Amino acid sequence: MSGGSGPATEEFERWSTEVKKGAAALAILAVLEEGPAYGYEIVKRLSDKVTFLQLEQGTVYPLLRRLEKERKLLISEWDYADPTKPKKYYRLEDEGKRALKMMTETWSVLTNEMKELLRRVNAQ
């Protein structure tokens, strides 16, 4: 989205970054609900399904590590089927499934309420 420069554009850029940060964990958990996947595969699935986020590997890998190590929402396992290219597969833990359910419910409420609010604002 292009709006030139100035305070409005700067605020939009900050807001857009924060929205993406907040949605990234939810999107990753949703992708892993479909089944285990390795980092690049997660990035690819996300780019195919959610164009707004456009998450890069440099964003996804640290988030995967945080969701696994700090939050205990994911578990990972190395696959050495191709010994020259081992892949680290991630899958949801039970806590990850619970977090996904709570986040999905909250996201649904938020988007419905925001749609209603913005519909009223746009009608004025």
pTM for this structure?
0.87
| pLDDT of 102 | 98
Closest by CA position to 61, among listed 42, 45, 83, 85: 42
- CB proximity list for 63: less than 8 A, separation 6 or greater: 24, 25, 28
Domain extents in the chain: 7-123
User: What CATH number does the domain located at 7-123 have?
Assistant: 1.10.10.10
Give the pLDDT of the chain (124 residues) as one tens digit per residue: 556 789 999 999 999 989 998 899 999 999 999 999 999 999 999 999 988 888 888 999 999 999 999 999 999 999 999 999 999 999 999 999 999 999 999 999 999 999 999 998 888 7
What is the pLDDT, as a whole number, of residue 30? 97
